[in-house]
Structure 1
Amino acid sequence: MTRSIALSPTLLATTFLVSLGFFSQPAVAQAPVVGASQPVMASGTGGLEAGALALRERRWLAAIETYKPLVNNADSVVRGQSRYGLALALSQLGEDEEAFKVLDGTLRDATPLGQAVGDLRGRLALQLAERFLAEKGTATANPWLNSYERLTDQPDRSRYERLRAAYDTFQGQQASMVLRVGVILPLSGQLGEVGTSILHGLQLGLREFDGRRGTRLELIVQDSGDGAQTATAAKALREQGVDIVVGPLLANGVGDTAEAFDGSNTPILALSNDKSVMGHGVYALNYLPSEQARLAARAAIRQGNRKLAVLAPSTDYSTEALEAFADEGRREGATVTGTAYFDPNATDIGASIRQLTGASATSSTLPFNALLVPAPASKMPLIKAQLSYYGVNNATVMLLGTGLWQNNDLLRTNSGMRGAVFAAAPKVQRFEQSYKASFGEDATALAVTGYDAARILADIAGEKQRTGKPVGELLTRPEGYYGSGGYFRFGSNGLTERGLDVVSIGTQFEVKKPALNLLPLTLPTDLRPDGAAGWRWQR
């Protein structure tokens, strides 16, 4: 297989590392700015209903365009509702600073929104403090903390206390507590290149983040080789009393490690993307196929494609992707018209395609307009040729994939993949430059996960010292963690939400929707303006 950007042939050949990315992340387009023009007359209640519907359907750009004409409406109720809705939509695109500015006007209006506006403003201030603390340091974070402190009602107080403590101790104290981090990685054998790159990412992160909170991270590293040494490595780490474990890489090794730490309450940040080994104190640090498939479903639905289908090789990876894709489609109100598996080693998959299309279907009568194919990039030209033979072409069907597609071979004209869309982990240019300067070689795609793990662990060490809470409890905080390679939120079930790019295949890989570094704010539970009660948002 052809070597892809910053990705070794060994890495490409390994199925448990399939959800990796190496695409440049473009600058996010500037969000619309609410002007200071005089109040204008516009359709009020109808526009509010349309905006609320767009928010419920997660059509953020449509919501923005709906609310923009209403933010200077002569009616203060419409004006307040629109600014609140516009701020919510902007926040979902990561435009938190612009959303905060929008709410300045809302606070001056005689609006019935009251507590909801104050809560959103406070949550935005904390979101911005988190972002600036991660990206630019304390000087830029403090004004947002001060903005929060001036609010009468202060939502998410625990998050504020964490951020204020992080600000107050940022690079200012000698380490008074050590967090012992066990690391199990393949540093030798077939996967040695991958494991070493992840370890280098951890080490690079330690240089940047360790010591900021008056704490120190101590790495205790064990080599798992090709996997046979994992159980021995895990037992050695338990004997040394580590507080948390990063690794191992393979699903079987995750089970061995969990068994070695059974009853210890020591969290394990596993690098496998097999969700069956997660839970009971084991958390996914890698990008899961289910998250990629859910994002692919949303990308299709946002473009108006509501008849979905799946054509998948018979693998555990594909089964997880298929189930998540179908669940997300149904949750979003789409119809799953069919699913079909095929032998991953077969060269003729016509029977599986006919199962989806119907025996006499043509391109104009297909029962679906979006198709997920979670197959490796090396298989896609053959699959795409057979899809075209049965009338499934790019003009009528949106072809969707996962991180398995991140290979430059698909950029070739004869691949037939132009216009196809997939979800993938973002490329982090600044990290990759720093990595090469430090180690004299290109990072593999999982190296940034080690780097982000160091950032998370430094944060947890500071919080453990401040609160005395167990590491496992601190790990699953609801707002998640900032990540250079996309945000993290660890669920109590061990599964992890990650920020991902939406990528289109053309003459080059084009990032259509960049990953967010911070998890967006949670929307209100009910986004229906209640006309009978003066157009207050129902909560």
Structure 2
Amino acid sequence: MTIAATMAAPQAQSGSIGLIAKRATAVFMLMFLAACQSVIPKGGQGPDGPPPVESPDPGNVVLSDGDRHRVALLLPVTGADGDVGQSIANATTLALLDTRNTNIRMTTYDTALGVDAAVKKAVADGNKLILGPLRSDDVIAVANVAKPAGVPMISFSNDVGAAGPNVFLLGHLPSQSIDRVVKYAKAQGYTRFGGIVPKSVYGQRASSNLTNSVRAAGGALVSVQEIDGSTVSIDAAARKLNAAGIIDAVLIADNGRVAIATVPALRKAGLSSAKILGTDLWNIDASVAANPMMRSAWFASVSDTMFRQYADKYRARFGRAPSRLSSLGYDSVLLVARVAQNWKLGTRFPVARLTDPDGFIGIDGAFRFAANGMSERMLEVQEVQAGKHATIDPAPRGFATTK
């Protein structure tokens, strides 16, 4: 397995990943040990589109462009999504500093000021790789400019409809979260499933994912109901599920706020003992663990173990907690830094190296890319307990491959 990140780990760590970590290159062993100062990238203003903001050179060493690979970071660092985008941008800076990387020039382009202008500027500036964008509806716009120019993308989106050759999705894909929790529930004896999904493209895909996962696990899908998020639609969906037949597990494929509103409706409708299942959307919402009605619910997500270590370091440097999604920014830089070790200056980004079947290791655990741009992750199952999420079935440590 290629190492994109090696976290500080307990001496008790064992197995293949622990062994590989000991053999990792020195640059990645320095992660979480770097103490140099950082500069927080900010978005800019300009009539011709967002001016670029360059990340700092590690150790304040000034290098010429001829010594570094140019990589563009396309994010909304102002506007409505500015907090999340800025947190991801901060994470990329932290990753560059932690790895003491000196051969990557990272430049931030603010998509909140116009995604078309941002990507055109990024390509015109000679960037060989794009990290981002964040929003799924921006991915196609960026790809329409980047692909003809031969510039591959590693997007932070999880919209599977946007993936394709040279357009890789680093975002956590809902289909994998659904499949993981359904298979785990089936292994624990739950056989008859129901589903609550939003009336949206996301909901349609979630419904299809749930159907396929239940079938593959050998269970029975009794009924799937759509909701628009309102109390009326939630109550109606709960009653229809209860009337559809015996259901011993219900997947709520929506965010934490909707799940918190849906569980009481399911209990009131008669599904008093059904196991509640969810997706990784719950992992970014602290209110789920704080709500007593959500206790004992299960959902599948990336592991939080390494994220907690990263969050402490992020907080110490930037003075605030990171967005849960910021780990995507950190891992994207670790991945690129790893590939850049053998990336010849002046050449195109070696995109074929992204599809190493052994995958990579990052803050969010093991992951790998397929040639179609989709990512695959090793997920764990978590249980909602009083004020916390507890791991009840750990993520596999790596991918089984044959060579």
Provide the TM-score with structure 1 as the length reference.
Answer: 0.60
Once residues 400 and 182 of structure 1 are traced to their aligned partners in structure 2, the CA distance between those partners, rounded to angstroms, is 38
Equivalent in the alignment of 2:6 = none
1:423 equivalenced with 2:308 (yes/no): no
In the TM superposition, residue 182 of structure 1 has moved relative to its aligned partner by 0.8
Once residues 306 and 263 of structure 1 are traced to their aligned partners in structure 2, the CA distance between those partners, rounded to angstroms, is 48
Equivalent in the alignment of 2:111 = 224
Equivalent in the alignment of 2:70 = 180
Aligned partner of 2:145 among 250, 260, 263 = 260
1:447 equivalenced with 2:340 (yes/no): no
Once residues 384 and 85 of structure 2 are traced to their aligned partners in structure 1, the CA distance between those partners, rounded to angstroms, is 29
Once residues 507 and 313 of structure 1 are traced to their aligned partners in structure 2, the CA distance between those partners, rounded to angstroms, is 27
Alpha-carbon contact 1:178-1:461 (below 8 Å) kept: no
Equivalent in the alignment of 1:317 = 202
Q: Which amino acid letter does the alignment assign opposite residue 218 of structure 2?
A: G
Other structure's SS at 1:449 match: helix
Other structure's SS at 2:361 match: coil
Map 1:241-252 onto structure 2 (within 5 A): 241-252=126-137
How many residues get paired?
355
Map 1:35-184 onto structure 2 (within 5 A): 97=15, 129-133=19-23, 178-184=68-74
In the TM superposition, residue 136 of structure 1 has moved relative to its aligned partner by 8.4
Once residues 135 and 384 of structure 1 are traced to their aligned partners in structure 2, the CA distance between those partners, rounded to angstroms, is 48
Query: Percent of pairs identical after alignment?
Result: 25
Aligned partner of 2:162 among 266, 272, 277 = 277
Once residues 85 and 27 of structure 2 are traced to their aligned partners in structure 1, the CA distance between those partners, rounded to angstroms, is 30
Provide the aligned C-alpha RMSD in A. 2.9
Structure 1 residues 522 and 301, CA gap change in structure 2 (3 angstroms): farther
Other structure's SS at 2:365 match: coil
Once residues 140 and 100 of structure 2 are traced to their aligned partners in structure 1, the CA distance between those partners, rounded to angstroms, is 29
Structure 1 residues 454 and 133, CA gap change in structure 2 (3 angstroms): farther
Structure 1 residues 235 and 138, CA gap change in structure 2 (3 angstroms): closer
Aligned partner of 1:404 among 266, 269, 281 = 281
Structure 1 residues 469 and 254, CA gap change in structure 2 (3 angstroms): closer
Structure 1 residues 216 and 194, CA gap change in structure 2 (3 angstroms): same
Equivalent in the alignment of 1:353 = 238
Equivalent in the alignment of 1:65 = none
Equivalent in the alignment of 2:181 = 296
Alpha-carbon contact 1:243-1:471 (below 8 Å) kept: no
Once residues 220 and 371 of structure 1 are traced to their aligned partners in structure 2, the CA distance between those partners, rounded to angstroms, is 45
Equivalent in the alignment of 1:485 = 364
Deviations 1:354-398 (A, max 9, x none): 433326xxxxxx4332211112222233311221122212x3x22
Once residues 118 and 286 of structure 2 are traced to their aligned partners in structure 1, the CA distance between those partners, rounded to angstroms, is 37
Deviations 1:436-481 (A, max 9, x none): 2222221111222111111100111123349x88522111111111
Once residues 14 and 212 of structure 2 are traced to their aligned partners in structure 1, the CA distance between those partners, rounded to angstroms, is 29
In the TM superposition, residue 342 of structure 1 has moved relative to its aligned partner by 2.1
Aligned partner of 1:198 among 83, 88, 111 = 88
In the TM superposition, residue 219 of structure 1 has moved relative to its aligned partner by 0.6
Alpha-carbon contact 1:210-1:216 (below 8 Å) kept: no
Structure 1 residues 295 and 358, CA gap change in structure 2 (3 angstroms): same
Q: Which amino acid letter does the alignment assign opposite residue 416 of structure 1?
A: M
Equivalent in the alignment of 1:435 = 314
Other structure's SS at 1:349 match: helix
Q: Which moved more, 1:335-344 or 1:247-256?
A: 335-344
Once residues 209 and 495 of structure 1 are traced to their aligned partners in structure 2, the CA distance between those partners, rounded to angstroms, is 26
Map 1:344-383 onto structure 2 (within 5 A): 344-358=229-243, 366-383=245-262
Structure 1 residues 369 and 132, CA gap change in structure 2 (3 angstroms): farther
Alpha-carbon contact 1:308-1:368 (below 8 Å) kept: yes
Alpha-carbon contact 2:359-2:399 (below 8 Å) kept: no
Other structure's SS at 1:451 match: helix
Task: Point out where structure 1 has 5 or more consecutive residues left out of the alignment.
Answer: 1-26, 31-94, 98-123, 140-173, 360-365, 525-539
When Rg is computed on C-alpha atoms for both structures, the one with the higher figure is 1
Q: Which amino acid letter does the alignment assign opposite residue 330 of structure 2?
A: Y
Other structure's SS at 2:330 match: helix
Once residues 519 and 135 of structure 1 are traced to their aligned partners in structure 2, the CA distance between those partners, rounded to angstroms, is 19
In the TM superposition, residue 515 of structure 1 has moved relative to its aligned partner by 3.8
1:495 equivalenced with 2:374 (yes/no): yes
Once residues 266 and 519 of structure 1 are traced to their aligned partners in structure 2, the CA distance between those partners, rounded to angstroms, is 29
Equivalent in the alignment of 2:386 = 507
Deviations 1:318-354 (A, max 9, x none): 2222222322222222222222212223434344334
Structure 1 runs of 4+ off > 6 angstroms? 135-139
In the TM superposition, residue 305 of structure 1 has moved relative to its aligned partner by 1.5
In the TM superposition, residue 240 of structure 1 has moved relative to its aligned partner by 1.9
